[in-house]
């Protein structure tokens, strides 16, 4: 997968654009978040840079060195600083209960590791901290077949359901949880009608 993402991100053009994800942006603005934010699987940095512009202290990571290069380029162009690391979660020195918020934006993981990764990530959030998630739902497979440009995994096990969110993030109060159809317009690889899961959770004290 590292080679796949490096190949995608090494092009000059930003694969998913430079604007933040709409749900992420609106949630950050609505909650008026401050403090520390963790962004796993952050790719080319569009969400990290937006959060940094809003005054958040941002730590991001991804397995792609090319993604980091693009993210740092974007941060420089917007005159903000982000802490962007390359590696898997278990290779990073991140402490439990240390982040005010964590966002998973189209962060899709292999079936054999997804549940544990989600649990390990949840442990990094402080009590009363927030988890923000938008990702493709299992029902996106049908839409993807009709329009491959919408993007997302072809493997059902990597996709989200509302029940999975409830079962995995049991230590979070559900502020918002829905499956909805949206029109994606994010760079070259997220375009068209998509079925997504959107979740905002607040970690129980």
Q: What is the pLDDT of residue 184?
A: 98
| For range 21-36, the mean pLDDT | 97
Q: Which residues, in sequence order, are bridge partners of residue 160? A: 137
| For range 84-98, the mean pLDDT | 96
Percent of residues, the chain, with pLDDT higher than 90:
100
Q: Sketch the domain layout of the chain as residue ranges.
A: 2-203
Cα distance between residue 154 and residue 4, in whole Å: 15
Q: What is the pLDDT of residues 187-196, one digit of tens each?
A: 999 999 999 9
Beta strand residue intervals within 42-171, DSSP E? 57-62, 83-86, 99-105, 125-136
The CATH code of domain 2-203 reads 3.40.50.150
| For range 147-169, the mean pLDDT | 97
Phi, psi of 154 (to 5 degrees): -90, -10
pLDDT band at 133 (very low <50, low <70, confident <90, very high): very high
Cα distance between residue 204 and residue 167, in whole Å: 15
Beta strand residue intervals within 65-136, DSSP E? 83-86, 99-105, 125-136
| For range 54-77, the mean pLDDT | 98
pLDDT band at 13 (very low <50, low <70, confident <90, very high): very high
Whether 105 and 39 have beta carbons less than 8 Å apart is answered as yes
Q: What is the pLDDT of residue 99?
A: 98
| For range 167-192, the mean pLDDT | 98
Cα distance between residue 79 and residue 33, in whole Å: 20
| For range 32-40, the mean pLDDT | 96
Where does residue 65 rank: exposed (0-12), middle (13-18), buried (19+ CB within 10 A)?
middle
Q: What is the pLDDT of residue 186?
A: 98
List of residues 6+ apart from 110 with CB closer than 8 A: 157, 158
Computed over every residue of the chain, the mean pLDDT equals 97
Q: What is the pLDDT of residue 58?
A: 98
Q: What is the pLDDT of residue 135?
A: 98
| For range 129-141, the mean pLDDT | 98
pLDDT band at 119 (very low <50, low <70, confident <90, very high): very high
């Amino acid at each position: 997968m590292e080679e796949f993402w490096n190949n995608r991100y090494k092009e000059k053009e930003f694969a998913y654009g430079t604007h933040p994800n709409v749900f992420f942006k609106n949630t950050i603005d609505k909650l008026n978040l401050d403090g520390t934010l963790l962004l796993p699987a952050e790719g080319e940095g569009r969400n990290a840079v937006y959060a940094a512009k809003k005054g958040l202290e941002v730590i991001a990571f991804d397995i792609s060195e090319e993604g980091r290069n693009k993210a740092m380029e974007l941060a420089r162009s917007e005159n903000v600083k982000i802490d962007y690391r390359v590696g898997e979660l278990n290779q990073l020195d991140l402490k439990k209960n240390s982040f005010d918020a964590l966002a998973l934006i189209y962060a899709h993981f292999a079936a054999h590791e997804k549940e544990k990764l989600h649990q390990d990530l949840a442990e990094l959030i402080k009590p009363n901290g927030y988890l923000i998630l938008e990702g493709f739902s299992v029902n996106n497979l049908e839409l993807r077949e009709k329009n491959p440009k919408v993007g997302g995994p072809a493997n059902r096990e990597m996709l989200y359901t509302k029940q999975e969110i409830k079962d995995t993030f049991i230590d979070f109060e559900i502020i918002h949880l829905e499956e909805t159809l949206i029109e994606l317009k994010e760079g070259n690889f997220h375009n068209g009608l998509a079925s997504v899961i959107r979740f905002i959770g607040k970690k129980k004290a």
